[in-house]
Amino acid sequence: MLPRLTTTPAATTVFTMVLTQGPVSRVEIAKRTGLSSAAVTKAARPFIEKGYLQELEATERTAPGAGRPASPLAIMPDREFFIGVKITDDELIGVVTDLRAQPLLSLHRPLATTDVDGVVAELTALVAELLAADPAYTERCHSLGLAVSGDVDKAHGLVRYSPFLGWRQVPLAKLATAATGLTVTIENDVKSLTVAEQWFGEGVGASSFALVTVGVGIGCGLVVNGHVVAGSHGVAGEIGHIPVESEGPECHCGGRGCVEAIAGTGPLVSAARAAAGAPEMTIDTAIDAAHEGDPAVREVFARAGHAIGLAMAAMANLIGPERIIVTGDMRGLAAYDLFEEQINQSFAAQAFGAAADCRLLLRPRSFEQWARGAAAVAIQTLFTF
């Protein structure tokens, strides 16, 4: 097991800035963070000595005509490797990444069962296969991140409830650690993707943003003042369970009229089947029917867009993010053009004041990117105070 290197908030601040925004000079780090130059040097030294940071050749002076040129600090991306795995109800998607969460290898492994023991066994085999691909991975990979849908207690390594897996109170981190020998971090899949966007994607440089996922479920990750918001019970951002129709359909959570009960893939397909009188309809054929102009099916997608737009506006009114990144699984996003207009209209109508100026960014993400999010959480956990 690799010991955590960071022991102070200053070290976390310096390392994180170089990791997410580097190469960057000590002078620039001091300017952006308010730390003294001495504090920056002290914080960076252990990372340089351990091979996580390097000093590049000097490229700029601290000021015109002043002193010696500044030497930017940069990450040594191959110093440590990480495995991230996205667990779905029918397959495992695994990636090996470097220290900047750049995927180097990806593998898919089908699941014949969602039984916990069966999933852990397949996970163990997947991890072994990923590590065996390169001797450097075996030598310098000590951390495994797992992304799971549902209610996840990251601090205790517990999947409290995953409706799509049928799990309750599963000590997944403990089981995976015992099976793989790696340090395991688990997190909700949407929050994992949010961490990847915060450190390595569209969220870099934004103090507050939201990530909304559209697909089997409707999820949301929140970053406020630079921190991913989990809430005291770990379920902050669950906009899929905001009620938007008082007489709407029942949701698997026990509520009624939730966004997810209207716009999630399963409920949407059920509504499309009823509207079209086509009991064999799938999400793919529903999308095709809507694209071909079937008015009843198009109305189902419009209703879903209205629900998502209302939920996004409620979130924007409460949090006031700089931007909202809309993503999800590829099937969900294949339908995005069918409810994009309704999302935008409902969001604009319901958002209060300047909240309506929040930028909406559509960014498709493959399941490999969700697995990358799990690796990003492992990176963040290892290198933060």
Domain(s) of CATH 3.30.420.40: residues in the chain? 78-195+369-382, 204-362
Domain 204-362 class in CATH: alpha beta
CB atoms within 10 A of CB 355: 20
Residues forming a β-bridge with 106: 95
Residue 131 pLDDT: 97
CATH superfamily of the 78-195+369-382 domain: ATPase, nucleotide binding domain (3.30.420.40)
Residue 2 pLDDT: 46
Query: What does the CA dihedral 297, 303, 307, 309 come to, rounded to 10 degrees?
Result: 90
**CA-CA distance, 174 to 153, in Å (whole number)?**
12
In the predicted model, residues of the chain with pLDDT beneath 70 are: 1-7, 59-69, 234, 329-333, 385
pLDDT tens digits for range 226-241: 888 887 776 778 899 9
**CA-CA distance, 80 to 99, in Å (whole number)?**
6
**CA-CA distance, 10 to 108, in Å (whole number)?**
39
**CA-CA distance, 68 to 87, in Å (whole number)?**
51
Query: What's domain 9-75's architecture?
Result: Orthogonal Bundle (1.10)
- In this structure, the strands spanning 73-75 and 53-55 are antiparallel
For the chain, list the strands marked E by DSSP: 53-55, 60-63, 66-70, 73-75, 81-87, 91-97, 103-110, 141-148, 151-153, 158-162, 167-170, 183-188, 209-214, 218-224, 227-228, 323-328, 359-362
